[in-house]
Amino acid sequence: MARIPIEMPKLGYDMESGRVAGWIKKVGDGVARGDVIAEIETEKSTVEMESTASGTLVEIVADAGAELPVGEVIGYLDDGA
pLDDT given for residue 18 in this prediction? 96
pTM reported for the whole predicted model: 0.91
Predicted confidence (pLDDT) at residue 81 exceeds the cutoff of 80? no
Give the HSE-up count for residue 19: Cα atoms under 13 Å, Cβ half-sphere. Answer: 10
CATH architecture of 3-78: Beta Barrel (2.40)
Burial of 2 (0-12, 13-18, 19+ CB in 10 A): exposed
Every domain of the chain and the residues it spans: 3-78
Find, among 61, 80, 69, 64, the residue nearest to 21 by Cα. Answer: 64
Which tens digit of pLDDT belongs to each residue from 5-55? 999 999 988 899 999 999 999 999 999 999 999 999 998 899 999 999 999
